Amino acid sequence: MNDWLFVAPLLILGLGSILMMLVDAFAKEKSELAILSSITMGVAGMISASALLSGAEAADAPEMVTRFLAVDPAALFFDVVICFGGALSALLAGGYLREHGLERGEFYVLLTLTTLGAVVLGRSTDMLSLFVGLETMSLGVYAMVAFRRGSSTAIEGAVKYFLLGSFAAAILLFGSALMYAATGSTSFTGIAAAMGDADPKLVLIGLLLIIAGFGFKVSAVPFHMWTPDAYEGAITPATAFMSVAVKSAAFAVFVRILFVTFGDELSMSLASGWPPVLAGLAALTMVYGNIAAVGQENVKRMLAYSSIAHAGYILVGIVAAFRVGSEAVSAVLFYLLAYTFSNILAFGSLILLGSRGREAVSFNDLRGVGRRHPMAALPFILGTLSLMGFPPTAGFLAKYYVFSAAVQAGGSMILLAILGMLTSAIGAFYYLRVTVFMFMRDPEPGQVKAIPMKSGYVVGALAISSLFVLGLGVMPGDVLEAASRAASLLLG
């Protein structure tokens, strides 16, 4: 019975999405698919959360599952991050799609199936299950980006994302093929075991290709080109989902592959392995993401660049882990959880501030909206404070743990931490600029004023995220403990 607990989230997501397809096809009147999909993902996430917090051991999970999918605490932790991100996005979509006349049932089916793909990707322990999960997730996201099919920006974003995403998948596949050629195995542990006899040149090229493939998925500079267009073109709930769940799943498997497969001395050294490459990526990503976000006139594009910048901070944590070990990995886990709730807050309140076919997307749309509707602007301020890393929010602790892990790692990692803090200061500028427009600028004469929508779904999602952002910031104890247990078991 106990071992079923560890695969239950996958089964629930799979069966739930098939059920939703049938409901969508056969229901006579408008069905409540938003709440159904949100509950499906929420339950899946809560099962993983309870298994994680109760400290249950997957003593004898069937070998058929464990060969391809991990059942360790790290897998459960990422389940929680991904499923909660999905559930909150479904709630946001429930308000958004109805308000803008886009209510079509397939969005929720796609969202749930994509979450299933993301969970499989986050749990994968084999190149084969990794690729199946990656494609299940990616194909769903491409369709969600193109959901507003009459809009040219949506199609532009979707095509760019699709082409670059397929290209990245091919690069990743080529990297894993080279690893198979070098070691004769596709499983993460199998590759690691055979690493000693493998041709180091093949391993290095395979490693670099795999890093490049994941670089696309987590939108690290210089693989970020698709991000602003896809984020801007997608409907806002899909953007929120991409920026939290898809990114977390990619980071989940990235961390696992780096420390399980490429955890040997040679691959983890400063001279000949992945730490210097990732450090370079992290520095580029933090600097470019933050600087490019400053000049944006569209809030969704600004948040896209901010999500690029956050990928950079997370990469700092991963790089630091090559010396500090599980402490840095647990900081990365905590960061992803905090980032999920903060970003849902930012995108969710952007959704809340638009109504009846008119979305609030540019800085000018937001002029004065904070003074007219202070309650609707409040979640955005909380979200951006957390993204900035301001106490007592979750984002502050997340940044603190990641950067202090980097300082502990010493050497050139300290420089990375300093760079991270400096670029965070740039971040404060563009996040606060939104608040300035909301409260200190009057609408231009003749401009249509933004009116917040009335939606229980969106308000509910915002309330839940606010609770978590503040709760994780004030008493992170249990979650931190779970994260550090997950990290230490992952690094073994």
Partner 1 sequence: MFAIYLPVLLLIIVATLVAVGMFTGTSVAGPKNPTPEKMLPYESGSNTTGASHLRQSVKFYLTAILFVVFDIEAVFLYPWSSLFRDLGWFGFVEMLAFLVILGTTLLYAWKKGALEWET
Report how far residue 152's alpha carbon sits from residue 156's, in angstroms, rounded to the nearest whole number.
6
For the bound state, the minimum distance from the C-beta of residue 17 to partner 1, rounded and expressed in Å, comes to 10
- Contact window for partner 1 (CB under 8 A) among 18-26, 346-354, 362-370, 474-482: 18-26
SS3 326: helix
Task: Indicate the residue among 22 and 418 with the shorter CB distance to partner 1.
Answer: 22
For the bound state, the minimum distance from the C-beta of residue 45 to partner 1, rounded and expressed in Å, comes to 23
Distances (CA, A) of 145 to 65, 148, 153, 158, 199: 32, 8, 10, 5, 41
Token pair listed for 440: 């200190």
Token pair listed for 200: 């180091």
For the bound state, the minimum distance from the C-beta of residue 65 to partner 1, rounded and expressed in Å, comes to 13
- Contact window for partner 1 (CB under 8 A) among 21-29, 119-127, 371-379, 381-389: 21-29
Strand partners, 124: 69
Q: Of residues 7, 21, 277, 432, which one binds partner 1 by CB under 8 A?
A: 21
- Contact window for partner 1 (CB under 8 A) among 22-30, 131-139, 278-286, 481-489: 22-30
Q: Can you spell out the DSSP letters for 449-470? A: PP-----HHHHHHHHHHHHHHH
Q: Of residues 22, 415, 467, 474, which one binds partner 1 by CB under 8 A?
A: 22
Rg (CA), the chain: 21
Task: Indicate the residue among 147 and 403 with the shorter CB distance to partner 1.
Answer: 147
For the bound state, the minimum distance from the C-beta of residue 79 to partner 1, rounded and expressed in Å, comes to 22
Task: Indicate the residue among 22 and 467 with the shorter CB distance to partner 1.
Answer: 22
Pair 286, 293: CB distance under 8 Å: no
Pair 397, 338: CB distance under 8 Å: yes
Strand partners, 69: 124
Q: Is 128 one of the binding residues for partner 1 (CB under 8 A)?
A: no
Q: Is 197 one of the binding residues for partner 1 (CB under 8 A)?
A: no
Task: Indicate the residue among 26 and 444 with the shorter CB distance to partner 1.
Answer: 26
Distance from the Cα of residue 150 to its chain's centroid: 27
Task: Indicate the residue among 26 and 445 with the shorter CB distance to partner 1.
Answer: 26
Report how far residue 335's alpha carbon sits from residue 340's, in angstroms, rounded to the nearest whole number.
8
Q: DSSP secondary-structure letter at 355?
A: B
SS3 184: coil
For the bound state, the minimum distance from the C-beta of residue 21 to partner 1, rounded and expressed in Å, comes to 5
The b/e string for 473-485 (b: 16+ C-beta within 10 A; e otherwise) is: beebeebbebbbb
For the bound state, the minimum distance from the C-beta of residue 14 to partner 1, rounded and expressed in Å, comes to 8
For the bound state, the minimum distance from the C-beta of residue 37 to partner 1, rounded and expressed in Å, comes to 15
- Residues from 341 through 360 that contact partner 1 (CB under 8 A): none
Q: Of residues 3, 24, 32, 103, which one binds partner 1 by CB under 8 A?
A: 24
Q: Of residues 2, 4, 11, 25, which one binds partner 1 by CB under 8 A?
A: 25
Strand partners, 59: none
Task: Indicate the residue among 18 and 425 with the shorter CB distance to partner 1.
Answer: 18
Q: Of residues 2, 4, 18, 410, which one binds partner 1 by CB under 8 A?
A: 18
Q: Is 26 one of the binding residues for partner 1 (CB under 8 A)?
A: yes
Report how far residue 328's alpha carbon sits from residue 319's, in angstroms, rounded to the nearest whole number.
8
Report how far residue 31's alpha carbon sits from residue 308's, in angstroms, rounded to the nearest whole number.
36
The number of residues that bind partner 1 (CB under 8 A) is: 6
Q: For binding to partner 1 (CB under 8 A), which residues are involved?
A: 18, 21-22, 24-26
